[in-house]
Amino acid sequence: MFCNQCEQTPDDGCTTRGVCGKEPDIQGIQDLTVYGLKGVSAYATHARRLGYADPEVDAAVHEALYSTLTNVNFDPEETLEQALEVGEAAVSAMELLDEAHTNELGVPEPTEVPQNGVEGNAILVTGHDLHDLKQLLEQSEGEGVSVYTHSEMLPAHAYPELSKYDHLKGNVGGAWHDQRTLFVDFPGAIVGTSNCVQPTREAYEDRFFTTGVAGLEEAESIEDGDFTPVIETAKSLPAVDWEPTGTVTTGFHHQPVLELADEILEAIEEGKLRHVFVVAGCDAPTPGRDYYRELVKSIPEDCIVMTTSCGKFRFNDLEFGTVPGTEIPRFLDQGQCNNSYSTVRIATALAEELDCGVNDLPVSIVLSWFEQKAVAVLLGLLSLGVEDIRLGPSIPEFLTPELVEALNAEYGLQPIGEPQADLREMLGGQVAPGAAD
């Protein structure tokens, strides 16, 4: 490969080893690192807004970002080690944010949430920032408005310090990418609180507001946590009455799930619970993502599905019920993407009780990725030594074939395939009937 600085190959004397000092494998690992750093920074920022910080996470971000400068390190093993250190920082940042959320908002509780019903003068909140939602609920109490969540804000309904507000009514819509259709029809004020905000359309730009890092040229930015403009806009718009289309469940944080640990272990030992599937990650309007719904629909009834992030909207409308012969729910929505930490806590606790490693558990992880937070979660899992993760709908293009081969050899990381074939392989070749409807 020719260097784009000196137009020579490394063998001909290029002093920067190709492409501005970065060989393709090095470049790929550094791209992976930078994606992960953005996710870590998002989680750390949300925690800092609630008054929680970890100097070690900050130091890891600084060092890793420094390592991506031109002509710093040409050792692939050391560069990959740096990426895994970003994964360790991701786990720490998720743990910190979980501490912030549970201390300030209470421990989430399993909750059934009305879906797509809207009544009266309404406000819809999208993004990830639960602190913003709390401020809005405090300021709008008694103002005659109803507040609804969208996408990654759905788990807010499970936190006691948020659900205690009677005017937090339900969830509307699905994953982040339905905004430009949903928001045209939604009759109230809208607040975007973080990333995953799309450019507005004229039909709703005059009733769209942003907070924090989110910003749109046409939208008014909320300053100093004062949501008065949002509330007054909602009150000025016509009242509506949309009938709910059903319910979705959320709130299976690791603490309430671990209260079921004895029952889960007993079900595993008695053969009632065969396997746990973690199907989680970011959704997007791109081809190949129907895979996740087809996979989950086919998972047998003696298995559990755990999930986080907005990818769950591909399948959280299905009826799962309980594991036969038990009271264990088959579908456990653990919350936002940062709540992937709950999956780690549950797996670690079960492994300790069974006196085995996490990779010895009857657990399979299937991730969907689209943006930086999903990469941070992936690096976090790899840093913990979690193996045999399936990733889709495709492997990131910045990972070279050589890197993919190395990650597969070391960790068993592999692309998703065909749902039924993957399911059979994850279940050791045996698939029984009785999946979700």
Please state, rounded to an integer, the average pLDDT across all residues of the chain.
93
Judge if 345 and 242 occupy the same domain.
no
Instruction: Work out the pLDDT band at 32, boundaries 50, 70, 90.
Output: very high
Q: Is 310 annotated as a binding residue?
A: yes
Judge if 204 and 129 occupy the same domain.
yes
Give the structural domain span for 202: 111-246
Among 57, 78, 105, where does a domain finish? 105
pLDDT per residue over 262-314, tens digit each?
Answer: 999 999 999 999 999 999 999 999 999 999 999 999 999 999 999 999 999 99
Judge if 142 and 100 occupy the same domain.
no
Q: Is 152 annotated as a binding residue?
A: yes
Between CA 282 and CA 286 the distance in angstroms is 11
Judge if 184 and 262 occupy the same domain.
no
Instruction: Work out the pLDDT band at 20, boundaries 50, 70, 90.
Output: very low
Sign of torsion, CA 91 195 192 55?
Answer: positive
pLDDT per residue over 304-356, tens digit each?
Answer: 999 999 999 999 999 999 999 999 999 999 999 999 989 989 999 999 999 99
Between CA 273 and CA 361 the distance in angstroms is 12
Q: Between the CA of residue 193 and those of 86, 105, 228, 341, what are the distances in Å?
A: 25, 17, 16, 22
Judge if 53 and 132 occupy the same domain.
no
Q: Is 312 annotated as a binding residue?
A: no
| 3-class DSSP assignment, residue 333 | strand
Judge if 342 and 422 occupy the same domain.
yes
Judge if 55 and 89 occupy the same domain.
yes
Cβ-based neighbours of 308, under 8 Å, separated by 6 or more: 280, 281, 333, 334, 335, 336, 337, 339, 340, 342, 343
Q: What per-residue confidence (pLDDT) applies to 223?
A: 92
Phi, psi of 324 (to 5 degrees): -50, 135
Judge if 288 and 396 occupy the same domain.
yes
Whether 1 is covered by a domain: the verdict is: no
> Of all residues in the chain, what percent are helix, strand and coil, respectively (each to 5)?
45, 15, 40
Whether 431 is covered by a domain: the verdict is: no
Instruction: Work out the pLDDT band at 218, boundaries 50, 70, 90.
Output: confident
pLDDT per residue over 74-113, tens digit each?
Answer: 888 999 999 999 999 999 999 999 999 999 999 999 999 9
Contact 76, 161 (CB under 8 A): no
Sign of torsion, CA 201 205 207 208?
Answer: positive
Phi, psi of 93 (to 5 degrees): -65, -40
Total domains in the chain come to 3
Q: Is 303 annotated as a binding residue?
A: no
Q: Is 20 annotated as a binding residue?
A: yes
Q: Is 150 annotated as a binding residue?
A: no
Q: What per-residue confidence (pLDDT) applies to 371?
A: 86
- The full DSSP string for 128-188 is S-HHHHHHHHHHHTTTTEEEEE-GGGGGGGGSHHHHT-TTEEEE-SSSGGGHHHHHHH--S
Residues paired with residue 390 on neighbouring β-strands, in sequence order = 366, 414
Asked whether the predicted pLDDT for residue 6 surpasses 70, the reply is no
Between CA 32 and CA 297 the distance in angstroms is 31
pTM for the model: 0.93
Q: Is 99 annotated as a binding residue?
A: no
Q: Is 373 annotated as a binding residue?
A: yes
Residue type at position 430: Q
Q: What per-residue confidence (pLDDT) applies to 2?
A: 37
Contact 118, 241 (CB under 8 A): yes
Residue 369 sits at the vertex; the CA angle it makes with 367 and 375, to the nearest 5 degrees, is 95
Residues paired with residue 170 on neighbouring β-strands, in sequence order = 148
Residue 143 has which token pair? 């103002």
Among 246, 265, 283, where does a domain finish? 246
pLDDT per residue over 153-206, tens digit each?
Answer: 999 999 999 999 999 999 999 999 999 999 999 999 999 999 999 999 999 999
Q: Is 353 annotated as a binding residue?
A: no
Whose CA is closest to 67, among 48, 84, 90, 50? 84
CATH of the domain at 127: 3.40.50.2030
Exposure string (b/e) for 73-84, b if CB count within 10 Å is 16 or more?
Answer: beebeebbebbb
Q: Is 402 annotated as a binding residue?
A: no
Share of the chain above pLDDT 70, in %: 93
Between CA 141 and CA 128 the distance in angstroms is 21
Asked whether the predicted pLDDT for residue 1 surpasses 50, the reply is no
Whose CA is closest to 209, among 236, 224, 227? 227
Instruction: Work out the pLDDT band at 216, boundaries 50, 70, 90.
Output: confident
Sign of torsion, CA 54 57 63 65?
Answer: negative
Judge if 274 and 388 occupy the same domain.
yes
Q: What per-residue confidence (pLDDT) applies to 194?
A: 93
CATH of the domain at 96: 1.20.1270.20
Judge if 48 and 144 occupy the same domain.
no
Among 59, 76, 105, where does a domain finish? 105
Judge if 135 and 216 occupy the same domain.
yes
pLDDT per residue over 161-170, tens digit each?
Answer: 999 999 999 9
pLDDT per residue over 363-421, tens digit each?
Answer: 999 999 998 999 999 999 999 999 999 999 999 999 999 999 999 999 999 999 999 99
